[in-house]
Amino acid sequence: MKNEFQHLQAAHCENGVTTNLLRTIGVEKITEPLAFGIGSGLFFVYIPFLKINNGPAIAFRTMPGLIFKRTCDSLNIPVVRKKFNSKESAEKYLQECLQSGQPVGCQVGVYYLTYFPKEYRFHFNAHNIIVFGKDEDRYLISDPVMENATSLSAFELERVRFAKGALSPKGQIYYPKEQRTVTDQQISKAIETGIKRNVFHMLKIPGTIAGVKAIAATGNKIKKWRDKLGQQKSGLYLAQLVRMQEEIGTGGGGFRYIYAAFLQQAHAFQPNDALLEISKTFTQAGDIWRNAAVQAAGIYKGRIGSQADFNVMGDYLIQIAEVEKNAFRALSKIKWNK
């Protein structure tokens, strides 16, 4: 069974799955940046007591799954979401969906995702792909981060759908339930909701674990890493920061460029020129993130590494915190068209 489905590449997997699935129900106007912004995707979190792959737990985007959920909720699109206890029922359900012509989103683990290069295969269980058909014994896969569609055997697909560990997918499948018409007014309202929620997440969460305060706090921590962790380990920590910020899926600059693109596109639905100005500020934030990554690279390559170099690195984040704080404050003051 081959369903009519057009693979479109995106920067980030969940944005891509969201936009591609929405197109299957006739919603064509939701681009990747719009899905990201409506889903309040921009974030920063550093959880000091948690370790991931022997490094710090840092994220530049919101929790996996929320972008799809929030975007559909905001546009009043009902969603079907299922998890499974048995591998058999998970495959049976998938086959039924495909037979009825329904491409579905699947949460999968990356470790056994055979088409990924080995260097990228960590135990990360919140990758998203679309399964859109079956050709003989191979499932047809649209992985949004790839240029072209691909395929997996039944066994390979089962293994990634039932990957174990943190955020284990448990065969999770999700898709928009039915055809819907989405009006420009609905999109406009969804943009407002998405921005207000993102302002809250970046400015109002108490403590220094999440939001702009967390960026500054991380900057201050980095200045102490050299003494506390030593040259080599702090290099590894910085490498992890850069990977979370720049690796496949971020669109560059820790998702800040996608968010800037979102604000430009939002202007078409909410013609307030402040959005265009604030978009420039996010571009600036993304640029500083990338300058910081170059500084970090100097340290983990061993080219530089004095305390002064770590101070420069930390100060980049403190500067970014200030830029993003001002940008979100400006967003919080926008007068929305009703």
Partner 1 sequence: MKKEDIPQDDGALNKLTKEVVYAVDNAGNYTTELSTGWEVKATALNVTWKDIEQRIEDARQKVLNNEASPILYFMELRLMDIGIVASYTGFWKWTIKQNLKPDSFKSLSEKKLKKYAEAFNISVDELKTMNVHEE
Is residue 290 within the footprint of partner 1 (CB under 8 A)? yes
Is residue 207 within the footprint of partner 1 (CB under 8 A)? no
Query: What is the CA 323 to chain-centroid distance, rounded?
Result: 21
Is residue 85 within the footprint of partner 1 (CB under 8 A)? no
Residue 11 CB, shortest distance to partner 1, in Å, is 4
Is residue 246 within the footprint of partner 1 (CB under 8 A)? yes
Token pair recorded at residue 274: 């402040």
Beta-carbon contacts of 204 under 8 Å, excluding residues fewer than 6 positions away, are 211
Q: Based on CB atoms, which residue is closest to partner 1, 7 or 213?
A: 7
Max CA-CA distance within the chain?
Answer: 62
* 9, amino acid identity: Q
Is residue 29 within the footprint of partner 1 (CB under 8 A)? no
For partner 1, which stretch binds (CB under 8 A), given 6-14, 127-135, 182-190, 204-212? 6-14
Within 251-270, the residues that bind partner 1 by CB under 8 A are 251-253, 257-258, 260-261, 264-265
Beta-carbon contacts of 197 under 8 Å, excluding residues fewer than 6 positions away, are 40, 70
Cα–Cα distance for residue pair 54/59, rounded to 1 Å: 15
Q: Binding-site residue total for partner 1 (CB under 8 A)?
A: 56
**16: exposed, middle or buried (Cβ count in 10 Å: 0-12, 13-18, 19+):** buried
For partner 1, which stretch binds (CB under 8 A), given 97-105, 177-185, 220-228, 292-300? 292-300
Cα–Cα distance for residue pair 337/260, rounded to 1 Å: 20
Residue 179 CB, shortest distance to partner 1, in Å, is 28
163 near 155, Cβ under 8 Å?
no
Site of interaction with partner 1 (CB under 8 A): 9-11, 33, 53-55, 111, 115-123, 145-148, 164-166, 168, 235-236, 238-240, 242-243, 246-248, 251-253, 257-258, 260-261, 264-265, 279-280, 283, 286-287, 290, 293-294, 296-297, 300-301
